[in-house]
Structure 1
Amino acid sequence: MSAPLILVAETQPDIRQATRDYLERSGFRVMPATTGQDVFEALGSLPIGVIVLDSALRAADGMDLCRDVRERSDVPVILVGADSSEVDRVIALELGADDYMGKPYSGRELAARLRAVLRRGRGERVLGLRRQTEAWFDGWKVDFARREVVDPDGASVTLTSAEFTLLAVLLDHPQAVIARGRLMELAGIRDTPSSDRSVDVLVSRLRRKLGHAGRGAPIVTVRGSGYMFSAMVDRR
């Protein structure tokens, strides 16, 4: 099996080269990018495993480039920015990023985060192959093998890698309260000082996507405990 191909989209040449050198020594294949156009061309023609995306790549719009990438692809994104505050981390998650790193960062930490994102993706594929099944709830259909989510009207709903993993975990534990810590563990969310906030944002994103015809998503917040998927789940 070939090494994962990492697209490193970085504005600063020295950081871009240093990142490429370290990741290649760590066993990854790396493709550099310097513009948003480079990113979209690579996504359209290469099997990109993860994108390391500098939020300053499109100077005027900043992190909006992450939203544009997410609208076109479900390839995992690690967003990199000059600000490492919780506000920027939350914004990154809201825009669809799978992780966020503030500059300066070490190549060792980036490599570790890349492996974590890739492990989560492999876990989804293994999960789908093991189940080879569909789940239904409130008229929604989830195909694990194909990683497809279809709403009650038959329209496909696009979920990011992190959102699909979270949904799969919730569907595995219907009508049961899952503590935040356990949910983070099952969904492959890194344990950091802002992890609780990260999982809350991810749940919020999933809720928005699973809302339909004026009805909210069946994801209930249990104050002081965690979350519960309240709908009945039918496996077929």
Structure 2
Amino acid sequence: MKERQVAAMAAEAIDASEQTHILIVDDDPSLRTLVRAFLTQEGYVVAEAEDATALRRLLDRQRVDILILDVMMPGEDGLSIARSLAGKQDIGIIMVSALGTEGDRITGLEMGADDYLPKPVSPRELLARVRALQRRRRSAAETRLASMTHYHFEGWRLDPVRRVLRDPAGIIISLSEGEFALLLAFIEHPQKILTRDHLVELARGVDADVFDRAIDTQVSRLRRKLGTRAGGDLIQTVRSEGYIFQAAVRRG
């Protein structure tokens, strides 16, 4: 029973995250347009890139959860891209190619792809593969979250699975869903200035628009609950930039 409760809480924490962001990398603009329109209708946030250069520009400025990657492109090909991303970024890769032999599929998977589809691509099959990859990634994320150790800072302790925050005296401090998401964003990026937009991106929950409008109020409430430390508040305002979580954070 306890294991089921932990798993349920882990799933709830992951469900609080935002929509899945997909990036289509293909030098065929008509295919990109078709796939983007189809996946957008299914509720995904979809972007496009025509080559490796455009891909890396997008990766530098926005989050990507799943990459739909063509193999045969001018310049750097999809195999080289997949190999360069393997182990460096938490991105699921679905490779698509006119090269559809067993050897081609094996090579793609060995280069770091999570799945491999031959062209021409059926949008419905691609959607099914995207959803299957989402399930696998969700299961892996739940496992990581369930085994995550506590966060410690300034005598405080946060259990991210059970969403329990204890102050230095061991007293449980009640947090709303928004306050918990905000605190988790801060302690996962300690001693770094976070803009309001970045905080919304990191901590957005069931209703991102409401959270966006109430970000300053949420910070103020969380700051009051955390109290003060030597030298000032744990969460300090950086004029014209955003907020910074001052404490050092460790896991254990």
- TM-score bin (small chain): 0.5 to 0.7
Q: Is the 8 A contact 1:78 1:97 kept in 2?
A: yes
* 2:143 equivalent in structure 1: 127
- The CA deviation string for residues 194-228 of structure 1, in whole angstroms up to 9 with x for no partner, is xxxxxxxxxxxxxxxxxxxxxxxxxxxxxxxxxxx
Aligned residues: 136
Partners of 2:76 and 2:50 lie apart in 1 by 15
Runs of 5+ consecutive residues of structure 2 not aligned to the other structure: 1-16, 150-160, 162-251
Q: Is the 8 A contact 1:40 1:69 kept in 2?
A: no
Q: Secondary structure at the match of 1:63?
A: helix
Partners of 2:41 and 2:78 lie apart in 1 by 30
Q: Secondary structure at the match of 2:86?
A: helix
Partners of 1:55 and 1:129 lie apart in 2 by 33
Task: Quote the offset at 1:61 in angstroms.
Answer: 4.5
TM-score normalised to the size of structure 2? 0.50
* 1:49 equivalent in structure 2: 65
* 2:128 equivalent in structure 1: 112
1:38 alignment partner, one of 42, 47, 54? 54
The answer to whether 1:90 aligns with 2:140 is: no
* 1:81 equivalent in structure 2: 97
Partners of 1:54 and 1:115 lie apart in 2 by 19
1:67-216 paired onto structure 2 within 5 Å? 67-70=83-86, 72-132=88-148
The answer to whether 1:7 aligns with 2:23 is: yes
Partners of 1:92 and 1:99 lie apart in 2 by 8
Runs of 5+ consecutive residues of structure 1 not aligned to the other structure: 134-144, 146-235
Change (3 A) 1:4 1:63: same
TM-score normalised to the size of structure 1? 0.53
Partners of 1:57 and 1:71 lie apart in 2 by 22
What RMSD over aligned residues (CA atoms) do the two structures have, in Å? 2.3
Q: Secondary structure at the match of 1:83?
A: coil
Partners of 2:139 and 2:81 lie apart in 1 by 27
Q: Secondary structure at the match of 1:2?
A: coil
Change (3 A) 1:58 1:65: farther
Runs of 4+ aligned structure 1 residues displaced above 3 Å come to 58-62
